[in-house]
Each structure stands twice: as C-alpha cells, then as structure tokens.
Amino acid sequence: MLKTASLLAAMATLGALAGALADGPRGAALGAPAGLAIGLLARGASSRLLLRAYGAQQVDESSAPYLVKLVQELAQRAAVPTPQVWLFDDPAPAALATGARGRRCAVALSTGLLSLLSERELRAVIGHELAHIRHGDVRAAALGSVLSGALVALALLALGASVLDGEDDGPAPSGWALWLLAPLAALPLWLAAGREREFDADRLGARIAGDPGALADALYKIEHAAAPRPALRHPHAAALLVVAPVGAQGWRRRLVRHPPTAERIARLRQSIVARD
C-alpha cells in the first residue's frame, strides 16, 4: 500500500510537471489532479496495458488445456485465485505476472519459454510468478512500469517541444526537461521493485512447485538459451520479467532491477543443500 501510494503521488507530481511545461503555474495546478486521476485509472488498467504491449492472447481450457490445468493446480498450492493464462508469440523465453491478488491477476508466458523448458522447469517458473501474485507486489510493479513509460513519453514530448520552440540563444526550457525526466524513469521501479523481491519469489515459487532444483535449472536455461533472452523492447516492463532482458544501455539499464541470475541460482542450490 505504501509503494502504491508513493507511485500515485509520483503520478500527481508528473502531471504537475507536464502542466507546468505546457502552461506554467496554472497548468501545474490543473496537471496535478489530472496526473493523480490517470494514476488511479492506470492502477486498474496497467496489467492489461502490459499484456497488450507484448501482444499476448488469453487462452482457456479449450485452446491450451494442459497449460491452464497446470496453472490451476499450482494456484491451489499457492493459495491464490486461479489467474488468467496468456501467451505471446516470441522465441525468447519469458514469463511475467500482472494484476492484484484477486480474480484479475494473470500469468503470461512466451512460446519460446514453453519450447525451452521441461515440465518440471515450467512448473517452477509458473510457481515463481504465482509467488509474485501471492506477495501482492505485482500491481505496484505494474503501476511503476506504466509510470516509467509515461515519464519516458513525457521526456520525448519535452524534446519535441524543445526542437519546435528552440531559438538561437539556446534550447527552450522544455528541452532541459529531457535530461531530468529520462533518468527519473527509473525511480518508479526503484519504488515498486527491488532485488529481494526476486529472491523472495524464488524461495516461495520453489516451495509451490516443490522442487528448488527445477527453478534453478529453468533460470540457467533461460539465461543461456540459444535464442536470445527477451530484448528490451518495452524497458518500462523490465522489472516484471522472470529474467532480466538484454539490450539495456544508458538510463535503460537502471530500469532492470533483477539480481544477477547466477546469484539467484546459487541461493536456490544452497537451499537444496540446507534442506538435505
């Protein structure tokens, strides 16, 4: 709740900044409540927006019976309502969870992931995603992702305004906003996600699947897959992927909040030794 409140406050601040760029103090006064309203709308719609960004399609028991039954079984073990199951066509192995701990949550998997992993490894990855849902951190992360994308969009708009309004004596004031807003795009994800978030999901996901070694094997396969890991096509959604995407450079690298995959694997291996 604190993370979500912080993100909504950031949306209000973003709205005020956008209004100030457009119409000075009067625009800021109007932009702050508008930004908050957009944040409240995004809180409910962020999950669908992210799924659509990846071109995901929902499947059911008639189109993907095995996969849907597998998610249903693991959801019962995780003590969460059965999430919707979505697939997106991408050779890169990827998985993400969105939504709140309720009926609107969803798990999305790439076709590359399904072709790469064995059944036990796929169970472990789904368990990891269900752990995110059970911990209740996916809604804040999704809202942070949408906010980060909005910051990037506003930075690009500021750049466009600078090009249109710039004069010989230097760039327009809105041009300087680009250098402020682009680095700030990382802040919502720093609020919504962290390294321990992935470690916690790994621990609980391994218990849900009943096989810590399977999740370690799955992470290793995803990290070293012949097909590349997910590219950073949607940098604002990086924090939601099971393994960090590739291609992050400059400020985009700050959007990737995943701990090193090798460290996650080592912790899972250590838990097997400790259990034995």
Beta partners for 163?
A: none
Give the single-character DSSP code of 234: S
Residue whose structure tokens are 């694997």: 265
Quote the tokens at residue 124: 């472990």
Cα 146-151-155 angle, rounded to 5 deg: 145
Burial of 31 (0-12, 13-18, 19+ CB in 10 A): buried
Cβ atoms of 178 and 21 closer than 8 Å = no
3-state secondary structure 167-210: ECCECCHHHHHHHHHHHHCCHHHHHHCCHHHHHHHHHHHHHHHC
CA-to-CA distance for 54 and 123, rounded, in angstroms? Answer: 22
Quote the tokens at residue 272: 């097997």
In sequence order, the 6+-apart residues with CB closer than 8 A to the CB of 186 are: 148, 251, 254, 255
**Catalytic member of 73, 129, 196, 263:** 129
Beta partners for 88?
A: 110
User: Residue 263 catalytic?
Assistant: no
Burial annotation 70-90 (CB, 10 A radius, 16+ → b, else e): bbeebbeebebebbbbbbbeb
- Catalytic amino acids? 129
